[in-house]
Structure 1
Amino acid sequence: MFLVNQAKHFNKQQEIEVLNTYKKEFGWVFNIEELITNNDFEAIILTNKQQQIEWVNKGFTKMIGYPANYAEGKHPSFLQGKNTTQASLESIRANLAKGRPFKTSIINYKKNGDAYNCHLDIYPLKDRNNNLLHLLALEKRIKM
């Protein structure tokens, strides 16, 4: 158990380092370290403001099956499928338009085609002038 916890801590430290590099480059006004340290998640997806994926963590590949280089440049909608509801998509769009962090869930699909219920914590990442630059999603599978 000790080694499992050490590995999780190491992965979170790596994720913080990567995201802090983005933070410095783009001038986000957001506490990345607190967010990553204090939340339980499996996957991280960072998109630009056009919602194109710029970076995913290793947990994304482990959870969903797609390698990072496949996901980069795509919209997260590539994970949706026949059981993804229009209501959940409309809710996400409405919440994104508000420009505030929010929580929701959606049915997504793994690379192998299996559906899963995905809990999302989505955070708009803004600069000092309150301009939206990126969106950060912390994702976790929940029982269907």
Structure 2
Amino acid sequence: MKIKQGPLKCWDIYAMHLVEQSKSFKVREDIKALSILKDKYKWNFNIADMLSNKAFDAIVLTSIDREILWVNKGFTKMTGYSTKFALGKQPSFLQGEKTTKASLDTIKTGLQQQSPFTNQIINYKKNGSLYNCELHIYPLKNKADTVTHFIAIEKELRLF
């Protein structure tokens, strides 16, 4: 028995499809931008593998001295801060009164050890509201195996 297919009747399914396409496009856009930086700094890692395995809202690239060099569009959407405002600052500008010392110590230790780590931290948006952020931070090494940058892949978590 052959089933006759008609027009899509559920707009929710179509809308979900469009959302997934949009996310995929944004990931490809981030991969393209980071690939250019990878070539420039001669990093030794696979960007696509790193990004395709994680759900994320924002990406922050810093120098070894933690100066922000690049953020993706998701950073602005998540924090409310423009790229122009963030560039040249340290990510600590997002921290505030409810950011715990334990979270900061974990980040400091992870950066000093120059190995990948995950942490959660309370940060603050431009409008002053706080958000719980899960960080996956990776040291980026050049072909000489020297850490030259750090990349943070960030996901906003619900505060409940």
Match of 1:26 in 2: 41
Tell me the distance in 2 between the aligned counterparts of 1:32 and 1:75. 23
Aligned-pair RMSD on alpha carbons? 0.7
Could you tell me which of 112, 125, 131 is aligned with 1:110?
Answer: 125
Tell me the distance in 2 between the aligned counterparts of 1:9 and 1:26. 25
Tell me the distance in 1 between the aligned counterparts of 2:110 and 2:26. 29
Q: What fraction of aligned residue pairs are identical, expressed as a percent?
A: 49
Tell me the distance in 1 between the aligned counterparts of 2:134 and 2:19. 23
What is the CA-CA distance between 1:143 and the residue it aligns to? 2.1
Aligned residue type for 1:117: N
Match of 1:121 in 2: 136
Aligned residue type for 1:135: F
Asked if residue 16 in structure 1 is aligned to residue 31 in structure 2, the reply is: yes
Match of 2:70 in 1: 55
Match of 1:86 in 2: 101
Asked if residue 66 in structure 1 is aligned to residue 81 in structure 2, the reply is: yes
Instruction: Report runs of 4+ in structure 1 exceeding 6 Å deviation.
Output: none
Match of 1:37 in 2: 52
Unpaired stretches in structure 1, ≥5 consecutive residues: none
Aligned residue type for 1:88: S
TM-score computed with the length of structure 1 as normaliser: 0.98
Residue by residue over 1:78-128, the C-alpha shift from the partner in whole angstroms, topping out at 9 and shown as x without a partner, is: 000000111111111111111111000111000000011110000000012
TM-score computed with the length of structure 2 as normaliser: 0.88
Unpaired stretches in structure 2, ≥5 consecutive residues: 1-15
Larger radius of gyration: 2
SS in 2 for 1:91: helix
What is the CA-CA distance between 1:10 and the residue it aligns to? 0.6
Tell me the distance in 2 between the aligned counterparts of 1:16 and 1:140. 17
**RCO comparison, higher one (Cα < 8 Å, 6+):** 1
Tell me the distance in 2 between the aligned counterparts of 1:90 and 1:100. 15
